[in-house]
Structure 1
Amino acid sequence: MQFKTINRGDGKVHFVEFGLSLIDTSAKLEQLSEVSGLNQEETYQKSLYEELNVIEVLTDQEILISLYHYPLVDRRIDIHKDDPSVVFRDYDLHIAGHYHGGQIRIPLLGARMVPEAYYENNGFFPPRDRVSGFWEYDGLNQYVSRGLGSSNAIGFLNFRLFNTPEINLLTLERK
């Protein structure tokens, strides 16, 4: 799934793949409109950008949720916001996984490692409040699920230790 809209009463919830949401769809549509005789790939791109174009201007009754395998650590958010080649949107929520809650945890101390290049120490001893659950940074609300599986980022550590798997149910409520 790259983009999906769910209608609820007078509002809409838009789910978008994070990487795709960084594209300036209006600019891409303008570029494609200048091409005569679109090939099959360009026709698909045009259709996708037309569908995505609804997130360019959202009303107060619409919610934008980005989905991505990777959580967005603070440094990465700053990089995206400072990059003029991307459009960092006003997401209502970002949902991710990848960390598995630290996968290997030590009771009372928490996660010892997450596979994250943006953290100091290459993910060893990550911030306790960022390996799973809800947090906010610079206006972006984010939820990271521990999920059900494990990572094989380090081959011999393809298991969970003191880390209960989870299936999440998130409830959206009006403010």
Structure 2
Amino acid sequence: MEWDSQHLSNLGRLNFRGFYTAILEKDDEIISAASIRIHGREMAEMPFVGTESKCRGQGFLRKFLVAIESALHFLNVENLIIPASIEIVGMWTKKFKFSHIGSAMIRTIISSNTLMFPKAVRLQKSLLADDAEADNAAMEINEVQNNYQNEVQQNRDERPPFIDLNLDPSEEAIDA
């Protein structure tokens, strides 16, 4: 889609360019979704993230965040910034290891075009903190992938074969 100047705002804070959407699916159903915008190496913002209400409390958000953080880490992004409503700041800080914004990061945020909501609190998470944390994230992602592959294998035994574009073909399929 191409935008002409009539559709663009003169207000920088209303610039929504550069957002990517990350989606976590299970059995072709969207479980979680997030909007992410990268502001160079220093930070990425994630103003929106949500999980389907019937899927909450099952660890999907944790797995989703691990995947997002891993991708941002791979891109050498140093910090993930989120706006959190006051009521759930404790969840983000305790469960997901976010912290309140430091003064150096405040200066970076002010010079960037980030989304903010009334009565929200900005939180940050360092993505390049240490290699041990990165190794833990990699192990969690491997666990998620292994669980998925085991689930796919079980489903293959229960229903007719299908093409899963997320998996590499077997050697037998290549030789056939």
TM-score between both structures, scaled by the size of structure 2? 0.27
More helix by share: 2
TM-score, scaled to structure 1? 0.27
